[in-house]
Structure 1
Amino acid sequence: MAFKQQPPLSEWLPGLREWFGTELGQQLLNAERSLLDRVLPTMFGYHLVQISIDNRIELCRESPIKHRIQINPVIELGLSESCIIAKNEELPLAHNSVDLVVLHHTLDFAQSPHQVLREAARILRPGGYLVHIGFNPLSWWGVYRQLKFDKQTVPWQGHFISPQRMHDWLALLELTETRVLSDFYMPPFEKASWRQRSRLLESFTRRCSSGSGAFMLQVARKDVGGITPITPAWKKRKLINLPLAEPTARGARGKMSEENR
């Protein structure tokens, strides 16, 4: 699949943060946090990495993992000591060193979504978990995005990667999808009055299609089988068996008898 070329994430950050600060953006964010609060307490380990469109958003409040690292693409004032300045496509972390990676709309606004996912899989240790949150194209939000004339605005500029394509990408990276959840069935109306009037539509969509929420939450585990080292077949040196004379003590015994006489 050829994705539309995105500008660098640093150029989109102000618009993304402004949109998530709106009433609609806050409602979506609260729904995402509620779903994460149900999922994260079951994942344990020592190191957690959050890669989000806004490092100021606290997403892992219910995670039992205490050491948390946040990736930020630009240098800003007020960054915490646990924040690392880096590109999402080039994470300065060691292979197999992280127990949990949380991708929050990271792939939606990445220039190379598959490369970001590959980096997340690289730093994840065997048995570790990856949690991905992204906009769902199979929702009212996806329909609105297709009908919207100007798609160059936030958040409609995002890729809106389908759950099936994500499933295929995870499988290619040896990540086993273990859970898929969806929520926030409200149509993307900016006006609060319109959202109130669409409560019946929201309830109907929730009952009839549980996988058509505005966002998808996918959980995957890095399953890498144990590798058995292959011992090289060393070449044995071929030895030539030569006939050897058997040692005998006959001569020595006869000499000792003559001396005793």
Structure 2
Amino acid sequence: MTDRAIIDWPAWTDSPPGRYVLEWEQTQLDRVVSDVFGYHALQLGLPQLDALRENRMPCRGLVLDAASGASAPYTFPRGARQGGGLGASQVDPDGTAGTIGRASPAGPAGLPAPAGRSTVWCDLLDLPFEAQSVDLIVMPHTLEFTSDPHRLLREAERVLMPEGQLIIFGFNSLSLWGMRQSIGKMTGRPFVPASVDLIAFTRLKDWIKLLGFDLERGRFGCYRPPLGSEQWLSRYAFMEAAGDRWWPIFGATYMIKAIKRVPGMRLVGPLKVKKPVLAAGLASAATPNTRNHTE
């Protein structure tokens, strides 16, 4: 990888460290989203990662804005305005119109969306979806490219249904990669692409808890040093198993899976009717002894 400043995802994902990170994240996503069920699922940003390919929901969408859409293979369509999409109805995979937003069923210049998905063009800070209408939202490094991470999280909480699931990927600031990123930003040579400072795992946990989410799963990965060549990354492959066992919180990337909880709501199964417990019979304090009883 060159020493020039990284300004977008395509330049970075073509590099050895970029492929290394995306491979780990794709593996985690394929495992996690396969058992999430519902009707609507969304991936916000990062089209280089196919976050929903193993998910089986009937309506899956790739949501892009001008920034993430500028990343190959998608480009933000001319004449489209932020927040309003392309002015067309959401198109489901079966060709019928839906109601969760406005979208384009194919990418610009005839580029098709991933199999079984639609492409939604909008402002990520103002999602054009109804409240409590989505079952799953995946945000791969999306918080690191938005100007207002808190607002994006609030939008995700708004559109998620009760018991809906949120999956977030990010770079870990408390790692060797985070240290090199901090030094690189001061010298004008950042190591990973990000518009804002990296968000610590512990801080992100506090944010989602304040919004009413319960953390279901957290995982770190990518323990090799922040090196730019394939050869050097391969030499440190042994650190994957060692890092996962001895220093898991210092992985270069993290994954958070959270569930939206709504106060006052509780999903229960079939009610089990318990037999009433009969009160114990009352016995007299003293029983008359007929043998010694005299009239």
Question: Which of the five TM-score ranges fits, normalised by the shorter chain?
Answer: 0.7 to 0.9
Q: 2:98 matched to 1:60?
A: no
The answer as to 2:50 corresponding to 1:41 is no
Tell me how far apart the structure 2 counterparts of residues 152 and 29 of structure 1 sit (CA, whole Å): 18
Question: What is the correspondence of 1:61-140 to structure 2 with a 5 Å cutoff?
Answer: 61-74=53-66, 75-76=76-77, 77=108, 78=111, 80=113, 82-140=118-176
How far apart are 1:152 and its partner, in Å? 5.3
* Aligned counterparts of 2:223 and 2:49: Cα–Cα separation in 1: 22
- The 8 Å contact of residues 151 and 157 in structure 1, kept in 2 or not, is answered as no
Deviations 1:175-201 (A, max 9, x none): 111110111111121112222333345
The equivalent of 2:14 in structure 1 is 21
Distance in 2 (alpha carbons) for counterparts of 1:124 and 1:113? 17
Structure 1 residue aligned with 2:269: none
Q: Distance in 2 between matches of 1:145 and 1:56?
A: 21
Runs of 4+ displaced beyond 3 Å: 151-154, 199-204
2:246 matched residue in structure 1: 208
Residues 15 and 154 of structure 1 are in contact (CA less than 8 Å); yes or no, is this contact kept in structure 2?
no
Match of 1:174 among 212, 217, 224: 212
Task: Give the C-alpha shift of residue 145 in structure 1.
Answer: 1.3
What is the identity percentage for the equivalent residue pairs of Structure 1 and Structure 2?
A: 32
For 1:128 and 1:59, the matched residues in 2 are separated by 16
Q: CA offset at residue 64 of structure 1?
A: 2.3
Which structure 1 segments of 5+ residues have no match?
1-11, 228-261
Is the contact made by 1:145 and 1:156 (CA closer than 8 Å) also made in structure 2?
no
Aligned equivalent of 1:145? 181
CA distance in 1, matches of 2:198, 2:191: 14
Over residues 194-229 of structure 1, what are the superposed CA-to-partner deviations in whole Å (9 max), with x where a residue is unaligned?
2233334555433311222111100110110237xx
What displacement does 1:57 show? Answer: 2.9
Partner of 1:250: none
Q: Residue 195 of structure 1 corresponds to which residue in structure 2?
A: 233
**1:112 Cα deviation after fit:** 0.5
Return 5+ residue gaps in structure 2 as ranges: 67-75, 78-107, 266-295
SS in 1 for 2:232: helix
CA distance in 1, matches of 2:41, 2:23: 21
3-state DSSP of counterpart to 1:155: coil
Query: Which amino acid in structure 1 is aligned with residue 167 of structure 2?
Result: V
Q: Distance in 1 between matches of 2:203 and 2:39?
A: 30
C-alpha distance in structure 1 between counterparts of 2:180 and 2:23, whole Å: 21
Q: Secondary structure at the match of 2:158?
A: helix
**In 2, distance between residues paired with 1:140 and 1:203?**
17
- Equivalences, count: 215
**Residue-by-residue CA offset, 1:31-65 (whole Å, 9 max, x unaligned):** 00111122112211100010023x25311211122
Q: Are the equivalent residues in 2 in contact too, given 1:99–1:124 (CA < 8 A)?
A: yes
Alignment partner, residue 30 of structure 1: 23
Cα separation, 2, equivalents of 1:161 and 1:151:
19
Q: How does 1:211-250 map to 2 (within 5 A)?
A: 211-226=249-264
Larger radius of gyration: 1
State whether structure 2 residue 224 is matched by structure 1 residue 186: yes
- Distance between the aligned counterparts of 2:223 and 2:230, measured in 1? 15
